[in-house]
Every structure is written in C-alpha cells, then in structure tokens.
Amino acid sequence: MTIRWQSAVALGTAVAATVIALPQATTNPPRTDVQVSVQPEQLSVVGLPCLPGNLTLTMTNTGTEDRYADLTLDPSGPLQLSRELFSSWLPAVDPDQPVSAPVDVRVPRDTQPGNYSMELEVDKSKLTVPVTVNPLPSKGPGSNVALGEQASASSTHGNFALCGAVDGDNDTEHWDTLTGWNDGTRAVFPDNYDVALAAPTTINRVELYTLDSKQYPAPTNGLRDWDVQVRKGTGDWQTVSQVRGNTLGHVTSTFDPVEADAVRILCLAGNGNTYSRIVELEVYGS
C-alpha cells in the first residue's frame, strides 16, 4: 500500500512539472549564436540534368560554447536539392571558424520558368534564397547538344565533378575549379565518359577538350587515345571516329551524319599513363 501511494505522488509531481515547463519552452527565444550565410545570395538555374546551380552554405559559431548545429533546407515547388540537411560540429573559437558545404540545385526539364525559393533554417531563424528558373537554352542547328545533358562515367575521381565536362566551360585553364571530368582509376584503362542526348539527334561532329593548361600540358596530362562512339536506337554502341597519339588540347572528330541518343568517349590511354581527363565534350549536328 505504501509503495503504491509513493508512486502516485511521484507521478503527480512529474505531470505537474511538465505542465509548468511547457509555457517556458515556447517563450524561450531561439538560440542565435550560429550565423548562416549562402553564396551566391540568389541563384539562376535551367532545367538541364547536368547543369545544376551551385550554392555554398556556411555556418559560423559566434557564441562561446562548442555545439552542433543542423541547417535544414526546404525547397519550394520543383526545386531538387543534393542535400536538405547540413549538420556540423561548430567549435567556439576566436577568431570564428566558418564551416561550409556545397549544395546543388536542379529542376526538371519541363519546369515553368519563373521565380521560386528555398528556405534555410537554423535554431528557428530562417533565411530565404530566391531561385530563378530560366528558359531552356536553344539547341537548334549549330548548337552543342551535349550541353548540360545527363553524363555518366565508368568512374569519377573524388575531387572532380561528373558534370564538369558538359558545363559549357571548355577553358582548360579553369581545370582547378573542377570544370572537367577526371576518372577515378589511376593508370587503369579503358575508361568511358557518356552523355545522353535529350532526344535522338542527327550528329556528325564531336569536339573534345582535354587537359592542356600551362601547368599541366596535354603531351604529359591530356587524353592520348580514344574512340568516339554513338548509341543508336537499338542500344548498341558504334565507333564513328578514332583518335590515336594525341598531344593537343582540342581535337575535332567529324564523321558521316548518324542519328544517336548518346555519345561515348571510350578512353584508351592518357599521356603520362595516369588518368583520363576531359575538360569539355561538345556534340554538334550538321
């Protein structure tokens, strides 16, 4: 009997404490010792699968205690994010030590151009990032039909971006900013880099830009031997051009017009026998 009576008292105390605590919790101001920033502050994207908009998220602990923080990202409408959570340990140090993470923003090809937004939240404090969806670039005669289309590869080196070789930047001096593809299997060949076209397209020319910067010239770092292949409706790959012994940064391959739904660079050897490196792959029709 005595034991039951004590339990009842303990339970009653706990309930009472909870009831009192609730109003306090809801009136506590949010912690504001984590500063959030995003670069750029607003973003423009198009509905191409391999041309994401890139944001850099940064959290800084401006308080006096080490802590974890969760930055949540809430996209509106058609926006697709490579992450919707950025969690990090944030030491309280002087000077402040910012911690950053990238996020890719994509939209489907059929997205209505217009203005959208995403909301970032830490500790109940919010930041809105405006995102403008622009119309798809024209891919009429004479334009590069590989631009921003879905790339895939046998492997990709961890420091490099798969989509870097279809991002529209063919300047080899930009290699350090990851605007190129580098395979992930050193001294092992073959490798392949593929681009799926938006629709079956009649093509007759491929422009390949391999690594050829002042610091990393093509004769020691560029792609040496490769086949240009096209995929036809049957799913079979057909070689339409071969390049051997290359030491240049930019190589044009022309071939008889062929309808293809994908293009592959079958990398057979690299100068220096290290990696397959493509700064940009461009595909054109007649």
Q: How far apart are CA 153 and CA 142, in angstroms?
A: 26
Contact segment (CB under 5 A) with Ca ion among 90-98, 112-120, 165-173, 186-194 equals 165-173
Closer Cβ to Ca ion, 127 or 248, answer by number? 248
Could you tell me the two tokens for 98? 């910012």
| Integer-rounded Cα radius of gyration of the chain | 26
Kindly state whether residue 167 participates in binding Ca ion, applying the rule CB under 5 A: yes
Closer Cβ to Ca ion, 42 or 213, answer by number? 213
Closer Cβ to Ca ion, 171 or 259, answer by number? 171
Closer Cβ to Ca ion, 189 or 193, answer by number? 193
Encode burial over 137-166: b for 16+ CB neighbours within 10 A, e otherwise: eebeeeebbbbbbbbebbbbbeebbbbbbb
Given 191, 227, 280, 282, the residue binding Ca ion (CB under 5 A): 280
Do residues 121 and 75 lie in contact, with contact meaning Cβ atoms separated by under 8 Å?
no
Q: How far apart are CA 155 and CA 15, in angstroms?
A: 58
> Shortest Cβ distance from residue 280 to Ca ion (Å)?
4
> Shortest Cβ distance from residue 177 to Ca ion (Å)?
10
Given 104, 121, 169, 207, the residue binding Ca ion (CB under 5 A): 169
Closer Cβ to Ca ion, 169 or 261, answer by number? 169
Return the SS3 of 268: strand
Q: How far apart are CA 181 and CA 153, in angstroms?
A: 9
Kindly state whether residue 207 participates in binding Ca ion, applying the rule CB under 5 A: no
Could you tell me the two tokens for 94? 């002087």
Kindly state whether residue 191 participates in binding Ca ion, applying the rule CB under 5 A: no
Question: Using CB under 5 A as the criterion, which residues of the chain lie in contact with Ca ion when the complex forms?
Answer: 164, 167, 169, 179, 280
